[in-house]
Structure 1
Amino acid sequence: MHSTVVRAQNVFGFFTTVAFAVAALIAFTDLITPRTPKANISMSKVEVVRGRPNYYSTKKEEYAVLRFNLNADFSSLMNWNTKQLFVYVSASWPNSTSSEHTNEAVIWDTIITSPSADHLQNIGPAAMKKLKKSAEGKTIDPSRGKINLKNQKAKYQITAPGGRLAEKNDVVLKVHYNIQPWVGVLTWTPQIEFGKWKMMKGGVSKLFNFPALKVKKAADTTSR
């Protein structure tokens, strides 16, 4: 009854109980920590061309090349339980065949890590040294959660299921985020306010339209 194995099992059981209780307490602290994200996004330039949007594309189709401006403050999301923050921008527009659905495509994304998760980033030694220096003497540098982009080119091209994208109306850009904690569940951009978790202020651009297809003008070969 008091063998070494039984005592080891009792110690291990007590340890897991305490660890679970501490983890649950840490996860609960997220609920009482204010989240007040805000973002301002606007379209800078957009054009629609015809070609192969990716090197693996098998056929030519219409795709949009877009640039945007983004000024966001997610510093309130970077607390002691935040492992990393995934931020992405999507473009959505009405579906021409169904009024109940919309087309949506991710055009840009980035990952913001906490200081203790910097080793997860796939960046060079110089960038890593600069990143670590920004957190010296601080638990989490607030500047890590801030994004300021001007005339940023989209990482991913926008295509449509039918291959036609030109002259589509009511396009809008939206900012989204996903928080990956050290302990707890993944949380996405909230659609309603929950306690001290506020909905993101802004994060939606003004409506704009995809322009007509950009076509090269044929050379004038007529003689005068």
Structure 2
Amino acid sequence: MYNSLTRIQNVFGFFTTVAFVVAAFIAASDFTYDRTPSAHIKTTNVQVVKGRPHYYSTKKEEYAIMKFSLDADLSSLFTWNTKQVFVYVTAEWTSPPSSSASAKSASATNQTNSAVIWDSIITAPSSDHLANIGPATLKKLRKSAAGKAVDPKRGLLSLKNQRPKYQITHPTGRIAETGDVRLRVHYNVQPWVGFLTWSQTEHDFGRWLRMKDGMSRAFTLPAVKKKDEGKKAKA
């Protein structure tokens, strides 16, 4: 009954119980820190082009290219339990109701459109070794955060006239002159221990406040510029 195997099982069971309890306390400690993220974003240049947005595209379609400027303070998201923060910007707009009966049924279930145009991963000093960057950049990161468990500067973003990583398209192939488009800043906090948490856009949760601002003014996508128009203007 009290052989070596039984004792090993008891020790292992006790160890896993203690580890689970400690992990639960670590995860719960995140709620004791204030989260006060803020961001200001605006568009600087918006174009709509007709062509093949990707090398694997089989046909030409309209796609939008949106440049933007972003000033964000996400430093409050970094605690001793933060592994990395995933930041991304989306373009959101609402599809107008269609007149055809078949399109009405389809659009009724998909009124809101959202597409990611830019993203970035900000690592904490304790997880710099996981960053997918070159050795020179990694050396600079480690030097700037030497001896720091938390580096608030990592959460400060200042982007001017930033080019998007991804173009925006639509299943219909048409996106020009779409109105009421807005850019919104999102974040996802990935802890060492605990649950993933996403940006709060509507409600506060205890000491975690929803993002201040974080959305651009509404704008309308321009029409596609035709090549013939430029030739006629010269003539």
> TM-score category by the smaller chain?
over 0.9
2:48 equivalent in structure 1? 48
- Unaligned 5+ segments in structure 2 are 98-106
1:78 equivalent in structure 2? 78
In 2, Cα distance between equivalents of 1:129 and 1:47: 38
158, 164, 173: which one pairs with 1:154?
Answer: 164
1:68 equivalent in structure 2? 68
- Which residue identity does 1:204 align to in structure 2? M
State the 1:137 CA deviation: 2.2
**What number of residue pairs does the alignment pair up?**
223
In 1, Cα distance between equivalents of 2:203 and 2:78: 20
2:205 equivalent in structure 1? 194
1:32 equivalent in structure 2? 32
Moved runs in structure 1, 4+ residues, more than 6 A? none
- Which residue identity does 1:135 align to in structure 2? A
> Structure 1 vs Structure 2: percent identity of aligned residues?
60
- Which residue identity does 1:15 align to in structure 2? F
2:183 equivalent in structure 1? 173
- Which residue identity does 1:47 align to in structure 2? Q
Please provide the CA RMSD for this pair: 1.8
2:231 equivalent in structure 1? 219
Structure 1 length-normalised TM: 0.94
Contact 1:91 1:173 in 2 (8 A): yes
Contact 1:47 1:211 in 2 (8 A): yes
In 2, Cα distance between equivalents of 1:218 and 1:170: 28
127, 137, 140: which one pairs with 2:137?
Answer: 127
Contact 2:125 2:148 in 1 (8 A): no
SS at structure 2 position matched to 1:64: strand
Structure 2 length-normalised TM: 0.90
Contact 1:174 1:203 in 2 (8 A): yes
Greater percentage in helix: 2
192, 200, 211: which one pairs with 1:182?
Answer: 192
Q: Which 10-residue stretch deviates more, 184-193 or 203-212?
A: 184-193
State the 1:196 CA deviation: 0.3
SS at structure 2 position matched to 1:123: coil
Give CA deviations for 1:115-169 in whole Å, capped at 9, x if unaligned: 1211211111100001111111211211111111000001000111211111111
